[in-house]
Structure formats: structure tokens, C-alpha cells
Chains A and B, each alone.
Chain A
Amino acid sequence: METILTQERREALEKFLDMLVKMNELGLLDTIRDLPDPEFIGRLSELLMTPGTLKLLDHIDDLLDLAGSIDVEAIKGNMPLIKAALEALSREPKPVGITGLMRAMSDPDVQKGLGLMVELLKAIGKTKTK
């Protein structure tokens, strides 16, 4: 035992044992002991390993790069717009023909929305003309 327990190892072992004591007081050792249960592992695996998650994870490096390049501030700033759009989409609007469209265009809210649409179309078109 003396040869195995060098001074450094004795120190490390003591710290490790103290850590175990703390974990035991917190009940963590019981958790660690009980977690590797075949049912729990099975359910966790089923959750993490679906065709969807496997495909997602396969692109994890690209997705992380993509996520890093997103302008998060712009999204935060436009949250009200995004929420409003989603709300409108869920409302099941009635179909509108050319006369209905003309009539709608006299609504100042619609006019503002149309202006936004035009800017959006311009921006998209610009990326195509490169």
C-alpha cells in the first residue's frame, strides 16, 4: 500500500473522498447509483435517438455555425411583428378577390403592411440579382 500511495496520490485520494462525502450528503451518490437503470437509459436513448434528432445532430457543426451567424438582436427587436404574423396566420381569413383587395388597401394598417411587404420583396429580389 505504501508504494501505491505516493504523497500526490494520497492528497488526491483524500480530496476525492471528501468530494464523495459531500456528494453523499447531497444525496447525489444515491442519484448516480440509481440513474443507470435500464428503463431510464432506454427512455433517454429513445428520446435522444430518433431519426429527427440523429439528422439534427448530424448537422450540429453547421447548425451551430448558422446559429452563431443569426442576428439575435434583430429577432428580439421584431418579436411583436413575428407574434402578430403568427396570430394572423392562425385566424383562418376569408378568401379575397381583386375588389376585396382594393377595398382592403384603403385600411391604413393594410397600407403599412403592404409597404413592409414591398421592402421585403425588394430585399429578397436584391439577393437574387447578385
Chain B
Amino acid sequence: MKKVVILGGGGGGAILANLLPREEFQVTVVDKSPLHFFQPGNLWIAFKGVKKEKFLRPLRELLKPHVNFVQDEVVEVDLQNRSVKTRNGKQLGYDYVVFATGAELDYDALPGHRKLLETYGDFYSSPENAEKLYKTLLGMNSGRFVIAVADPIYKCPPGPHKGTFLSWELFSKRGLSDKVKVVLAVPVPHAYPSKTIADIIEPELNARGIELHTFFTANEIDLDNKKIISLEGEELSFDVATVIPPHRGPSYSVTPESVKDGNGYIKIDKYTSKVEGFDDAFAIGDCTNAPTSKSGVTAHLQAEVVAARLQGIDAKYSGRTNCPLITDGKGLFIISDYDHPPIPVRFSKFKRLMEDFFVATYWSAIRYPEFWSPVFKAYFEATDEMIRKGEGW
């Protein structure tokens, strides 16, 4: 029996734990929280008022009974001595370790950011703050609601855009589309890093009268004067604002330090998820330096790859993304991989339905990944073919 210690029980860690055959592996998941949170739920909480409980489940229930769960915080990982230390003094040895602790959001990097978060809430940090943001938005009857981004690397690249469309929808439903201006400020040259996708999004933003600012990297928040100042020297006034913060890799100590890059992300082989320099250490999900979108899909696909590799199969992650961008009525998926930029996709009701279906099957997919594997496999193979042929969808 090989001992596998998985750090983090989020989308990546929980799926991996449930995929590994119990006959071959003794699996332990370490997570500081007893609850597993479906992070995209923040959008529904912040912009549709859905209660956070819908997206929270005890991690113990999501892990198969044979998986060990240690509810504790990782404080040190020693890759050379194959040992993990926790806040409460536990020491876990392993044959394989998998980093799946996600990205850390830094609300202290930008002056004024933490105060902004405490005042209005947001839809990135926590379900509680998402509930706070919903309350804030409900109390907004006029003025400017600004969504800005502090750094180009953040989880869920279409997140700010979803927030934009869904908040517009919220104000529109309340009859306030003329009174409240929704503003989206992004640090890139177009509405979206990929021009192909930007060309599809921009008409939708224009049709709704949403104000778009490009080349705007949020750098400072002046809450007293209610403005956001960018690195580029521009200022955006707001009545309510939320800024997606800079993200970092895990802050707990990892030895050797060299496995972390300049932003703290764990350096991996982008195809195999192996930690650079080690045969018995892997990393999946938002905590890695993989040059693709930080998203649940990435974590899921990397979990499948690591599960296969631990069983001797030469599986590789292609860098595939499938980020949903929803505008309530319609949706699209951003489909790309390491070797191909996003393919042209259209907003459609069908894709929006697919997203609903995915959300509804999430808990099942975490608990029984082997059941949903063939479904996901068929979908990814079909859409991979579209990528290969350069077709749109």
C-alpha cells in the first residue's frame, strides 16, 4: 500500500483522493476547513442572493469512507525527508505528496484594499463576503458599481466578466439599468486577454451599456474619495467597488524553497504535474505555476492525470480549459489548451444549460468521479477535436 498525502480537499484534492483505488493506496487528505466550498457559488451568492449553504458541504461526507481526513493546517512540507507538518503538531510521512491547497488572495498588497473588502464584500474571498456584497448591491439605487482587477493572474479568468454581467442583470431586474452604471476595468488591452473572446464579449457589454476600461491595473484604493487608481495612472470613481486581488501560491514553508516560483506557486512539469526535481511530489490546481487558467477544470483534469500516473499510466494534461462565462440567459465556454489559443465560441442558451447541469452534478462528481469520468472524457475529446480542427462552437 502506497501512502499518499494530499494537501487540500478542494476540487482537485477531493477528486484525486476519491479516484485512487483503495486496494493500492492509503490516502490522507489534509485541509484546515471541515467544509468544502464550491467556489463558483460566490457568483450566485453575490449576484443572485442564493444562500451560501447551498455551496458548502462537509468535506468528510464528500470523501469516500476509506479516505483519511485530517482537519488541520499545513505549516511545513519537507520534500527531502518526505514529511508534512501541521499546525497542531501532526507529522505525516508519505510515499507521495500532492499539493492541492489552492491560491492565496492578498488583500494587503494594494493600499486600501482590505478596507474596501470589509466595507462592501466581494465575490472572490469567501461566501460570507459574497453575502455581504449581495446586501451592498441590494442597497444600491444609483451610482457606479466598479469591478476591477489588480493583477492579470487570478483564478477563473472570466470571473470579473461574470460578475459584470450578473450584476447588470441584478440591477436591470430591479429596474435600475438607467440609474446604476456597471463598470469593468481590466489590466489587458481588450475586454478579455484573448482577442477572439474579447470580440465576442464586447458587443454584449456595449448592448447593456456597461462601461469598459482596458489597460487598467488596479493599484490603490482611495475609499474616502471613492476612487481606484491604476498603475497606468488612471482613476476610476465608484459608489461601490470590488477589486480582484493579486494571487499567490501557498505561504506555508516548503523545503527546498526552490520549488516555489517568485509568486510562491509550486513549480511543476506542466504536463505531468510532477513537482520540479521530485519523483514523489505532485501539485495540482491553483497552487501551481502551470501556464494555463487557474480553474476548477484545470484542477479536475490534473487530478485525473496524477491519479493515472500514480498507477503507472503515462497520462498528460494538455492545458485544456473550459471556463464558463455566463450572462444568466446565455453562456459560453473558453476552450483552449497549452498549444492553442481559445477557439471562437458563441453565447448560447444550450451552453448556459450545460453550465447549470454541471453545477447540479458537482457534488456527485466530487464524490464519484469515476462515474462522471466517461461523460467528461467524451465532452473533452469532442471539444479537443474542435480545437485541433480550428473550429468554433
User: Which residues of A come within 8 Å of B, CB atoms?
Assistant: 36, 38-39, 41-42, 45-46, 48-51, 53-55, 57-61
For residue B81, give the distance in angstroms from its CB to the closest CB of chain A. Answer: 39
Counted as pairs of residues, one from A and one from B, with CB atoms less than 8 Å apart, the total is 53
A58 surroundings in chain B (CB, below 8 A): 346, 348, 350-351, 393
Known: A54-B383, A54-B393, A58-B393. A42 touches B348 (CB 8 A): no
Residues of A within 8 Å of B382, CB to CB, are: 49-51, 53-54
User: Does A57 contact B350, Cβ atoms closer than 8 Å?
Assistant: yes
Residues from chain A with a CB closer than 8 A to the CB of B278 are none
Q: In the complex, A58→B354 CA distance in Å?
A: 10
Nearest A residue (CB) for B332: A58
Known: A42-B378, A45-B378, A54-B382. A61 touches B349 (CB 8 A): yes
By the criterion of a CB under 8 Å from any partner CB, how many residues of chain B are at the interface?
Answer: 21
Chain A residues lying within 8 Å of B371, measured Cβ to Cβ, are 36, 38, 41
The smallest C-beta distance from B178 to any residue of chain A, in angstroms, reads 29
A59 touching B348 by the CB < 8 A rule?
Answer: yes
A46 to B376, CA, bound (A): 10
B291 at the interface (CB under 8 A from A): no
Which residues of B are found within 8 Å of A38, using beta-carbon distances? Answer: 370-371, 373-374
The reply to whether A45 and B386 contact each other, CB–CB distance below 8 Å, is: no
Q: Name B368-386 residues within 8 Å CB distance of A.
A: 370-371, 373-375, 377-379, 381-383, 385-386
Binding site for A on B (CB under 8 A): 346, 348-351, 370-371, 373-375, 377-379, 381-383, 385-386, 389, 391, 393
Q: A49-B382, A57-B350 are in contact. List 18 more A-B contacts (CB 8 A).
A: A36-B371, A38-B370, A38-B373, A38-B374, A39-B374, A42-B378, A45-B379, A46-B378, A46-B381, A49-B379, A50-B382, A51-B383, A51-B393, A58-B346, A58-B348, A59-B350, A60-B350, A61-B350
Report the separation of the CA atoms of residues A38 and B369 in the bound assembly, to the nearest whole angstrom: 11
Complex CA gap A105/B340 in Å reads 57
B208 to chain A minimum Cβ distance, whole angstroms, is: 20
Task: Tell me if B's interface is mostly helix, strand, loop or mixed.
Answer: helix
B351 cross-chain contacts in A, Cβ below 8 A: 58
Chain B positions within 8 Å of A48 at CB level: 378
**A58-B351, A61-B350 known; A45+B375 contact, CB < 8 A:** yes
A51 near B374: Cβ-Cβ < 8 Å? no
Q: List 17 A-B contacts (CB under 8 A).
A: A36-B371, A38-B373, A41-B375, A42-B377, A45-B375, A45-B378, A46-B381, A49-B379, A49-B381, A54-B382, A54-B386, A54-B393, A58-B348, A58-B351, A60-B349, A60-B350, A61-B350
- Chain A: minimal CB distance from B371 (Å): 7
B386 contacts A51, C-beta separation under 8 Å: yes
Give the CA-CA distance A123 to B15 in the complex, in Å.
60
CB-CB < 8 A to B381: which residues of A?
46, 49
- Give the distance in Å from the alpha carbon of A35 to the alpha carbon of B370 in the complex: 15
**Closest chain A residue to B348, Cβ basis:** A58
| C-alpha spacing A61/B331, complex, angstroms | 14
Residues of A within 8 A of B349 (CB): 60-61
Residue of A nearest to B385 (CB): A51
Q: How far is the CA of A61 from the CA of B378 in the complex (A)?
A: 23
